[in-house]
Structure 1
Amino acid sequence: MMARPRSATVTALPRTSVSTSAAAAFDPDLPAPQRRIRLMAALPPPLRELLVQGRTDRRPRFGEDGFDGMIELWSPPDGVTAAQAALARQALEQLSATVLAPADSDHLLGRVLTLLSHFPAKGLSPEVERMMALDWAEDLGEYPAWVLDAAARSWRRSRKWRPSIAEMRALCEELCAPELALAARLQALADAAPHEAGNADLRADPGSMATGALRRMGRMG
């Protein structure tokens, strides 16, 4: 007697809007262009298309001392839908919670103390050194651990003097510029269409994870 063939059971895989998470795609040891390419590849295809279709304008920037170089201003394409804006907010939230998440206080303070130990200052008491380190930790507190590590490594290998806080902030901004630029463009897409009913306005929420990195680093008004 022939055995009855068993019917096959097919289990549908859950659909996800992002095929690869930002955290899985990100490698801080890669050069900046490759980091950006991998983060872009982790985005859903509709977002990648919108980012390519956006407009980039170069404008002069002026500081206290006059001309301070050129800046790029990116604008989203016309016709961004509410669904696409929601997808951008989701991607921005993931990026802010992983790649751009600020370092924990222990890592930050340890990194600062170690860096300053390579450039000992004369005539300062241990208490003053400790208070200075706390100032550093406060002024660098918005940066991710990988940025702080890279900035400290770069300074150790290229400088012979103790850095200032302003110099380290400028170096940190330079090191994570591609990631901040991507976050700013995702934010622009998120703000380009009305929010769907029932969704909170992330831009109006100062505690929102999605806009936290841009607010901390002064990229939003």
Structure 2
Amino acid sequence: MTARTRGATITPLQRSLATASLATAFDPNQPAPQRRIRLAAALPPVLQQLLAQGRIDRRPRFGDNGFDGMIEQWTPPDGITQAQAALARQSLEDLHASVLLPADSDHLLGRVLTLLSHFPAKGLSPEIERMMALDWAEDLGEYPAWVIDAAARHWRRSRKWRPSIAEMRALCEELCAPERGLADRLGALAAAAPPEFHATESHATDPRSLTAGALRRMG
């Protein structure tokens, strides 16, 4: 089944093929800009075009301590159709089902326990250590396995002290920012189409319903 819009033909991709395409294009060992470029190139051409046509606005962000960097807001182009929005929604689901799929709980817990073992804390029993690791697993459970692995590798190679959960979450956010940014843009495309109007079958085909409606308005 195909849908024609604005002179272009949009053919919905089979879910398994689309997910495989994104997963194949993704290489977590590449630098962040290259990862995002490869993922965008694996999307359907019509989505690539719409992503390129969007508008980027940058404005300063202020926190408790004053200026806290710049934030970027992406706005989709005008005229997004229902077919294009549906394609963006499917691609977004595929991205979450592959590249952004949360880590398996066993993998996550094992990675956390291993990382903490590199920075042993004095005076903590093994049971307390395991309970702390469970807290870590809960607070990091939204991130993919490749993000958790990269964050743990970065920390043990560059730090001399035991990390806090907040520090690891900040590092994970930074590591997957390009992929989450792409997901945000696909989500904006998916939500950009105007809502469809669905007339009920009874009101569309039964003249008596039209008469009843007119009488209610007159009364």
- Using the size of structure 2 for normalisation, the TM-score is 0.80
How large is the Cα RMSD of the aligned pairs? 1.7
* Equivalent residue number for residue 185 of structure 2: 185
How far does the alpha carbon of each residue in 1:64-89 deviate from its partner, in whole angstroms, 9 at most, with x for none?
A: 22221100000000011111000100
Higher mean Cα deviation, 15-24 or 98-107?
15-24
* Equivalent residue number for residue 44 of structure 2: 44
Change (3 A) 1:174 1:19: closer
* Equivalent residue number for residue 102 of structure 2: 102
How far does the alpha carbon of each residue in 1:149-191 deviate from its partner, in whole angstroms, 9 at most, with x for none?
A: 0000000110010000000000000000000000000000000
Mark the runs of 5 or more structure 2 residues left unpaired by the alignment: 1-10, 199-219
Which residues of 2 match residues 75-114 of structure 1 at below 5 A? 75-114=75-114
* Equivalent residue number for residue 176 of structure 2: 176
* Equivalent residue number for residue 128 of structure 2: 128
Mark the runs of 5 or more structure 1 residues left unpaired by the alignment: 1-14, 199-221
- Tell me the CA shift for residue 197 of structure 1: 7.8
Aligned partners of 1:54 and 1:75 also within 8 Å: yes
| Alpha-carbon distance in structure 2 between the residues aligned to 1:159 and 1:134 | 22
AA of the residue aligned to 1:36? R
| Alpha-carbon distance in structure 2 between the residues aligned to 1:122 and 1:44 | 54
AA of the residue aligned to 1:175? L
AA of the residue aligned to 2:124? L
Change (3 A) 1:107 1:196: farther
| Alpha-carbon distance in structure 1 between the residues aligned to 2:194 and 2:130 | 48
Aligned partners of 1:83 and 1:196 also within 8 Å: no
AA of the residue aligned to 2:162? R
- Tell me the CA shift for residue 34 of structure 1: 1.0
- Tell me the CA shift for residue 20 of structure 1: 6.4
* Equivalent residue number for residue 146 of structure 1: 146
Aligned partners of 1:92 and 1:187 also within 8 Å: yes
Q: Percent identity?
A: 79
Size of the alignment, in residue pairs? Answer: 184
**Greater gyration radius:** 2
Change (3 A) 1:57 1:112: same
> What is the DSSP-based 3-state SS (H/G/I as helix, E as strand, rest coil) of the residue aligned with 1:60?
strand
* Equivalent residue number for residue 206 of structure 2: none
How far does the alpha carbon of each residue in 1:64-120 deviate from its partner, in whole angstroms, 9 at most, with x for none?
A: 222211000000000111110001001000000000010010000000000000000
| Alpha-carbon distance in structure 1 between the residues aligned to 2:193 and 2:27 | 32
| Alpha-carbon distance in structure 1 between the residues aligned to 2:104 and 2:132 | 18
AA of the residue aligned to 1:105? S
| Alpha-carbon distance in structure 1 between the residues aligned to 2:126 and 2:196 | 55
* Equivalent residue number for residue 214 of structure 1: none
Aligned partners of 1:85 and 1:195 also within 8 Å: no
- Tell me the CA shift for residue 192 of structure 1: 0.1
- Tell me the CA shift for residue 194 of structure 1: 3.3
- Tell me the CA shift for residue 37 of structure 1: 1.0
Which residues of 2 match residues 156-171 of structure 1 at below 5 A? 156-171=156-171
Change (3 A) 1:116 1:62: same
